[in-house]
Amino acid sequence: MKKKILITTGGSGGHTVPATIIFDHLKKNFDVFLETDKRGSQFIDSTKYKYRVFSSTKLNSFFKIPVVIYKFTLILINSFFYLKKNNFNAVVSTGGYMSIPTCLAAKSLNLDIFLFEPNMTIGRSNRFFLGLSKKIFCYSSNLKYFPKKYKNKIKLIPSLLRKEIYQLKKDKKKDNKIFKILIIGGSQGAEIFEKKLFSLIFGLSKKLNIFVYHQVKINEKKYKEISEIYQENKINFELFNFNHSIHKYICDSDLVITRAGASTLAELVYFNVPFVAIPFPYSKDDHQLENANYYMNKNCCWVFEEKNFFTENSNNFLLNLVNNTNEILDKKENMRKISYQNTWNNINEILTKTLYEN
């Protein structure tokens, strides 16, 4: 009989998208189920995945508001009976506060708990459950704030990527006459990109033939406003919302300006597309900065603090970068040294073997 596994996730795309990838890796050899909260459900393709939506509550006011404690207790009880009724053998958590009730319920039922941490800083939820878990899947063994006594629980895997990504052609031949720039704000968008990047892009457009792919949040009014700005400045562009086909834009781009979510950076490195990372300055425990610095230390990208990027100096930096093909090629070559190890079968073997062994 196949081992029965529940993958619990929710919140942002950074938690939810990896959960669906883990699901795809495990579905052949395990009886796998997926659960998420309402926020996370918007990042799951309902035509491909069946999943349970559960209630969740933020714990930042856990000890102050009795109503939150009451709600959390109900969610915990619901998780307990759901796990017990369906006879799960193990739980895989992709982190975040929304996974806490399920992991606590799993522990009370003596189920195996496996954690997944894509960032270079271990999340608070994962840190809390380290002592109760069997293994934690990570991209690096040198995570910030990771307790030394639990180092033996780390299981290294290459960065998780959707299966269809491996079928796309890497290092796609591009039009040398047009320099294509991709702007990514992540699953939550980046309003400051929509406000302050324009002056830099306009400066480039006066000296170069550029095309801009720009990710914005779903908002008809905002789409119209940004479209008009590009049109008035006679810049060729395409706007899009966060979606599961973002890799198509990545493949067609020469340079990416992005936040530093783990999933986005993993895709950029896999496709060997140079990027300028501007980490979200208010990410918990500065995990986006750690993600960006990880690749910068491998000479794969450029990293700027948000407060220092939107300046005239950055305009000169981008112009010099576009004209300095050697620097871009150097970054691409360093990415290849990392990305060649990333295969679907390699990751699949590690995940499957680890869950069977434990």
- Whether residue 133 sits in one domain with residue 233: no
Of 153-162, 196-205, 274-283, the least confident = 196-205
Rounded to whole angstroms, the Cα distance separating 173 from 160 reads 25
Return the residue matching tokens 């208010």. Answer: 282
Q: What is the pLDDT of residues 71-112, one digit of tens each?
A: 889 999 999 999 999 999 999 999 988 899 999 999 999 999
Rounded to whole angstroms, the Cα distance separating 27 from 193 reads 38
- Whether residue 184 sits in one domain with residue 140: no
Query: What is the predicted pLDDT for the residue at 323?
Result: 84
Collapsing DSSP states into helix, strand and coil, what is residue 199?
A: helix
Residue 169 has pLDDT above 80, yes or no: no
Tell me the mean pLDDT in the region 3-8.
Answer: 97
Query: What is the predicted pLDDT for the residue at 183?
Result: 93
Alpha helices in 149-190 (DSSP H): none
In sequence order, what are the residues at sequence separation of 6 or more whose Cβ sits closer than 8 angstroms to the Cβ of residue 114? 90, 91, 92, 93, 133, 134, 135, 136, 137, 354, 355, 358
Q: 227 is written with which tokens?
A: 């479209």
Q: What is the mean pLDDT of the chain?
A: 90
Query: What is the predicted pLDDT for the residue at 358?
Result: 64
Collapsing DSSP states into helix, strand and coil, what is residue 18?
A: helix
- Whether residue 275 sits in one domain with residue 319: yes
- Whether residue 328 sits in one domain with residue 236: yes
Task: Output the CA torsion sign for 350, 351, 353, 355.
Answer: positive
- Whether residue 312 sits in one domain with residue 174: yes
Query: What is the predicted pLDDT for the residue at 186?
Result: 64
- Whether residue 147 sits in one domain with residue 216: no
- Whether residue 150 sits in one domain with residue 78: yes
Query: What is the predicted pLDDT for the residue at 190?
Result: 65
- Closest by CA to 10, choosing from 47, 50, 62, 51, is 51
Q: 59 is written with which tokens?
A: 């714990």
Q: What are phi and psi of 50, to 5 degrees?
A: -100, 135
Residue 17 has pLDDT above 60, yes or no: yes
What domain range includes position 17? 4-158+343-357
Q: What is the pLDDT of residues 189-234, one digit of tens each?
A: 567 777 778 888 988 898 889 999 998 876 777 788 889 989 999 9
Strand intervals (E) in the chain: 4-8, 31-36, 51-53, 90-93, 112-117, 135-138, 154-156, 179-184, 210-215, 236-240, 255-258, 275-277, 301-303
Tell me the mean pLDDT in the region 117-135.
Answer: 96
Cα separations in angstroms, 44 against 82, 168, 274: 21, 21, 28
Percent of the chain residues past pLDDT 70, beyond the cut:
94
- Whether residue 247 sits in one domain with residue 149: no
Q: What is the pLDDT of residues 315-351, one digit of tens each?
A: 888 888 888 788 999 999 999 999 998 999 999 999 9
Number of domains in the chain: 2
- Whether residue 255 sits in one domain with residue 107: no
- Whether residue 187 sits in one domain with residue 139: no
Rounded to whole angstroms, the Cα distance separating 110 from 108 reads 5
- Whether residue 193 sits in one domain with residue 100: no
Rounded to whole angstroms, the Cα distance separating 185 from 280 reads 9
CATH of the domain at 212: 3.40.50.2000
- Whether residue 139 sits in one domain with residue 68: yes
Residue 62's pLDDT band (cuts 50, 70, 90): low
